[in-house]
Structure 1
Amino acid sequence: MGGQPASSNAAVLSAGTRFDHGVASGDPLPDGILLWTRVTPMTEAVPGSGLGPDVSVTWEVAEDSGFLRVAAKGTTITGAARDHTVKATPTGLRPSTIYWFRFRSGGVASPVGRTKTAPAAGVAIDRLRLGVVSCANLQAGFFTAYRHLADRGDLDVVLHLGDYLYEYGVGEYQARDVVVRPHDPTTEMITLEHYRRRHAQYKSDLDLQSLHAAVPVIVTWDDHESANDAWSEGAENHAEGAEGTWKARREASQQAYAEWMPVRYDVGGQLYRRFGFGDLASVSMLDLRSYRSEQAANMVSADISSPDRTITGTAQMDWLLDGFTQTDTQWKLVGNPVMIAPVRFPSTLSTAEIGGVQALLGTTTIDGVPYNVDQWDGYAADRSRVISHLRDHGVTDTVFLTGDIHSGWACDIPADPLTYPTTGTSVATELVCTSVTSDNLDDILGVPPRTASLAVETAFRTANPHVKYLDFDSHGFSVLEVTPAAVRMDWYVLSERTSPASTSSLSTSFRVAAGTQTVTAAL
């Protein structure tokens, strides 16, 4: 049935060349696109094995699905050194154009993919439609959200904001402690073989394959692509020594990511990057794991406002701020892996509710006050630089698109949370998509959806007047529509994440009118 993956190390099905992991495209430019696949040239060459010969792979890009009008083609060599993954970067394509692509090797053709180039710089664009997703844990459910996005047929691109896969072993993190689909390998990812096999397992999912074959993606990583709560020199879920060095583990995760993801990234390179869509919008994708200081967790004396602590690193911060003021596009969209809007914990929550929210948001308690230390809340000096820059330069129409915390939010980003909204102003907005499958608050509390969480949501909105919408329970995906008049986010929720036949339905919609820097309910 749709979505059920085959194990990446499953028994051999047949001899000969195979394209078991689908095709994908990503990082669209006005004149080019990145294409991806993985070829299995022989039965022994399973992902992570290090086995199999170097092979030649040809690729084609055409203006029609029958490949009668080929626009670009080429040949590349792949082998065990890159786990038999393939990337191609055709250029000379037309802007704002739908293309079809495929690969061939050993007389065998891959599935056909559909993609689209970006509009030319400066060209007037009336509409841009993006899918927005985050936090897809295979052990916690089926990827029906991806299938529903693929079936729409109206998306220009999909933003994946991180946690594309999870590092945990079987029984470590799943759906309300029920393993819906066991991870391969069964142990936690630590080595290059582990990361390659896990990427292969996720890419074996038919719903994920359908999304990648239907629309280009722009991705960034969060923490679980390497290990939970990763920072520049370690991670909460890494035991130095017992699990090797963090340097070796991080390099293994980054190598597998570079091999297996349709992204213009090579190990040691720069993942943060910016894309333009005519005069309408730019999309700046952040990397908030590679350069950040250690989280303040378990450091009672830590000063979360210290300018010596960073979530972006100096170079990325300068690049981000320059992008706000130097871009010629109207809307400045930011692919932001962790939440930037400030969040104050309500004082009215019970001990169980506080524990549930802390587990969901990755918070800790410092001097008796809960802080969202893995988000921008734990790096207040960097957030202040962003807010001050937007305010002082009069930057308008900045929208942060965020994942990570398995919940849906629509927020203003106030220049001063203490005076907002009485006298303070909002300098930007933030729209947070919920998880594809990963546990929400109702799962953590072990209660039915839309029961106990309702009171918690009300308490959070009361304590944080800049938060206009909050859903702690739902799983699904979002669709963002961008026009010169407004940005609108639609949240779609799944009927049952643990069912491969799950339906989806529109839950709510919020919009940001041009020039307002505030979110309002969309009618």
Structure 2
Amino acid sequence: MSGPRKPRRRGYSRRAFLKKAGLSSAAVGLLPMLPGCGHSDGLRSGGALEFRHGVASGDPLSDRVVLWTRISGVASDATATVDYVVARDPQLGDVVKHGSVQTSAQRDFTVKVDATGLQPATTYYYRFHAGDLQSPIGRTRTLPVGSVDRLRIGVVSCASLAHGYFNAYGRLAERADLDLIVHLGDYIYEYGSGQYGNLRAYEPEHEILTLDDYRTRYAQYRGEAELQAMHRQHALINIWDDHETADNSWKDGAYNHNEGEGDWAVRVSGALQAFYEWQPTRELDAGQPRKDYRSFQFGDLVQLTMLEERLLARDQQVPGVINLADTEILLLPIGEVQNADRQMIGSEQEAWLSGQLRQSPAKWKLIGQGVMFGQLKIAGLPNLLSGGVYVNPDQWDGYPAARGRVFDIIDGGGTDAAIDNVVVLTGDIHSSWCMDLTRDPNDPLAPLGGYNPLDGAGAVAVEFVCTSITSPGLDSFAPIKPLIPVLNPHIKYSDFTRKGYLLLDITPQRVIGEHWYVDTITQPSTTEAFGAAYQTADGDNHMSAAEQTSPRSDAPAFAP
């Protein structure tokens, strides 16, 4: 049962946009390693002890990786000692590291270990134990150094538990040859039961607002078998989008937050504390928990740069100027939206991004981020001023000056050379897309800075947008799907409804993105199907159709 209906907010809601498209309805850092082994102190409890939420690993580097678990059933006033072991084999016979950490109710009995001193490009297996209680065995992998000939990466986003079952996570868990998983946000949703989707009920049943609420919601999600399986088999690199706090969040508020729900900064503090407790993610700066942008180096093949686009610097979304059925969902490129001072990621992060892209020795520069970077229109004619009607003010279309500054980084200019082989990875919009990135896709004069959709001239990068795990897509856009490439000639592929994940296969010669779809989310299922593949070749900076790739034959053994 949900609480009373909230007062109607003014402005734009992404949920309202998605509904219109055909839908129904102060952080804690890593714990230090402490001496000891095999302790049971503090583990007495009225109930049975359990590693109920499985194990996970994340933020791998070439010599370390974060390991995670949570112990349940501990007395609320107790301090528990949890031991861990890391080995080279699934049977944990060839041990390379072990130690102990303490946890308590202060961090919701979660356990995080930054396991250091590991070897590059190596698969490891790990397990936690507390007294005689053992966790499942997990599998993880460190990043490579030097020359790298191939990477396989799963990309996911947007898992609304109220809309269905997490079958896509399970299918990724069955792929032994993946190097890791990239999660682009909306790992959890903040709504109460029945507020957005009604297939499954939430815990707690009301919209989450407090630290305890967010902890309870993460605990519910981490009880899902398919999600546990994915975490057990693969390391995770993730960012948050908006629903880890509230719908359409920005630095000083959110569409799904009003004065009656308390102070926004307090809500964000609780949400991020729970995020760092429950995710295998390094906290970069305990004094600035909103700062989670970071980068990862995969030898000479890939640099993965993860952006923060919600809580650090983003200005409030500009309301749509066209009202359809009492819902403002559309945007014209006029007025405040054109303000050159409007921020998406902020000047500090823009400068950091520029340095990361320019200094990287990697062949491919991947940017993991939340909202669609390329343009998306549903009305307009080709012209030199990028006119027309944009769909979604929450994505980069609502921040054209900020997008222009990122294009400036990629284009170079002055003493800076242009940067080739930039690949943007995106979630958020609950649908699949492949597109070229160019400043004005509706300007056909490529020699003058426009874009030629026939050969990709004028494109400076590409974007793969992965569909959601369960969150509903753009069903009512289906009738206008034939118009999408006409109004948006840079878009090469789209699927508005199917759920699943993106699989990246990367070599020095090309990046291929494969869209994979599950057959249903309304019940548990193990069926998936290949949808489509697109690629960008070294130095081309534009998209073309591709063939499905083959798995690696030398994949390491699964965790048992």
TM superposition score normalised by structure 2? 0.81
The answer to whether the 8 A contact 2:377-2:389 is kept is no
SS of the aligned residue for 1:87 comes to strand
Provide Cα deviations, 1:462-496, integer angstroms capped at 9, x if missing partner.
Answer: 10100111111111111001100100011011111
AA at the equivalent of 1:458: P
Deviation at 1:460, TM superposition (A): 1.5
Residue 289 of structure 1: which of 292, 310, 321 is its match? 310
AA at the equivalent of 1:401: L
The answer to whether the 8 A contact 2:88-2:125 is kept is yes
Residue 441 of structure 1: which of 462, 474, 481 is its match? 474
Provide Cα deviations, 1:40-61, integer angstroms capped at 9, x if missing partner.
Answer: 143xx6xxxxx34111111111
SS of the aligned residue for 1:426 comes to coil
Distance of aligned partners of 1:264 and 1:368 in 2 relative to their CA distance in 1, 3 Å threshold: same
Q: Does residue 25 of structure 1 match 2:48? A: no
Matches of 2:396 and 2:380 in 1, distance apart?
21
- Specify the alignment match of 2:140 in structure 1: 115
Matches within 5 A, 1:57-96: 57-96=82-121
Deviation at 1:389, TM superposition (A): 1.7
- Specify the alignment match of 1:264 in structure 2: 282
- Specify the alignment match of 2:171 in structure 1: 148
Matches within 5 A, 1:124-523: 124-174=147-197, 179-240=198-259, 242-265=260-283, 267=286, 268-269=288-289, 270-290=291-311, 291-297=313-319, 302-346=335-379, 369-392=389-412, 393-420=417-444, 422-423=446-447, 424=450, 425-442=458-475, 445=476, 453-523=477-547
SS of the aligned residue for 2:411 comes to helix
AA at the equivalent of 1:293: D
Provide Cα deviations, 1:229-252, integer angstroms capped at 9, x if missing partner.
Answer: 000000000012x10110110111
Matches of 2:220 and 2:485 in 1, distance apart?
39
Distance of aligned partners of 1:413 and 1:243 in 2 relative to their CA distance in 1, 3 Å threshold: same
SS of the aligned residue for 1:249 comes to helix
Provide Cα deviations, 1:63-82, integer angstroms capped at 9, x if missing partner.
Answer: 11121111111111100000
The answer to whether the 8 A contact 1:407-1:440 is kept is yes
Matches of 1:398 and 1:439 in 2, distance apart?
29
Structure 1 unmatched ranges of 5 or more: 1-12, 46-50, 349-366, 446-452
AA at the equivalent of 2:192: G
The answer to whether the 8 A contact 1:388-1:415 is kept is no
Matches of 1:408 and 1:29 in 2, distance apart?
29
Provide Cα deviations, 1:100-149, integer angstroms capped at 9, x if missing partner.
Answer: 011111321111000000002xx110100000000011111111100100
AA at the equivalent of 1:427: V
Distance of aligned partners of 1:388 and 1:347 in 2 relative to their CA distance in 1, 3 Å threshold: closer
AA at the equivalent of 1:295: Q
Matches of 1:328 and 1:509 in 2, distance apart?
27
The answer to whether the 8 A contact 2:171-2:526 is kept is no
The answer to whether the 8 A contact 1:142-1:437 is kept is yes
Matches of 2:354 and 2:213 in 1, distance apart?
37
Deviation at 1:507, TM superposition (A): 0.6
The answer to whether the 8 A contact 2:390-2:397 is kept is no
The answer to whether the 8 A contact 2:379-2:388 is kept is no
Identity of aligned residues (%): 42
Deviation at 1:368, TM superposition (A): 9.6
Q: Does residue 40 of structure 1 match 2:72? A: yes
Matches of 2:254 and 2:478 in 1, distance apart?
32
Provide Cα deviations, 1:289-347, integer angstroms capped at 9, x if missing partner.
Answer: 01201111268985222221100011111111111111111100010111111122225
The answer to whether the 8 A contact 1:391-1:415 is kept is no
Distance of aligned partners of 1:239 and 1:140 in 2 relative to their CA distance in 1, 3 Å threshold: same
SS of the aligned residue for 2:338 comes to coil
Provide Cα deviations, 1:412-466, integer angstroms capped at 9, x if missing partner.
Answer: 0013333247543011100000011001122xx4xxxxxxx44322212110100
The answer to whether the 8 A contact 1:342-1:377 is kept is yes
Matches of 1:327 and 1:370 in 2, distance apart?
34
The answer to whether the 8 A contact 1:296-1:302 is kept is no
Matches of 1:454 and 1:14 in 2, distance apart?
55
The answer to whether the 8 A contact 2:320-2:393 is kept is no
The answer to whether the 8 A contact 1:115-1:215 is kept is yes
TM superposition score normalised by structure 1? 0.87
Matches of 1:488 and 1:85 in 2, distance apart?
37
SS of the aligned residue for 2:231 comes to helix
Matches of 1:314 and 1:64 in 2, distance apart?
46
The answer to whether the 8 A contact 1:234-1:246 is kept is yes
Distance of aligned partners of 1:421 and 1:226 in 2 relative to their CA distance in 1, 3 Å threshold: farther
Question: Which shows bigger deviation, 463-472 or 263-272?
Answer: 263-272
The answer to whether the 8 A contact 1:346-1:459 is kept is no
Matches of 1:16 and 1:106 in 2, distance apart?
13
Structure 2 unmatched ranges of 5 or more: 1-44, 322-330, 382-386, 451-457, 548-560
AA at the equivalent of 2:102: I
Matches of 1:258 and 1:112 in 2, distance apart?
22
- Specify the alignment match of 1:16 in structure 2: 48
AA at the equivalent of 1:168: Y
Task: Give the number of equivalent residue pairs.
Answer: 470
Matches of 2:309 and 2:439 in 1, distance apart?
22
The answer to whether the 8 A contact 2:193-2:206 is kept is yes
Distance of aligned partners of 1:332 and 1:57 in 2 relative to their CA distance in 1, 3 Å threshold: same
Matches of 1:344 and 1:426 in 2, distance apart?
18
Matches of 2:521 and 2:314 in 1, distance apart?
33
**Structure 1 residue ranges (4+ consecutive) displaced by more than 3 angstroms after TM superposition:** 298-302, 367-371, 420-423
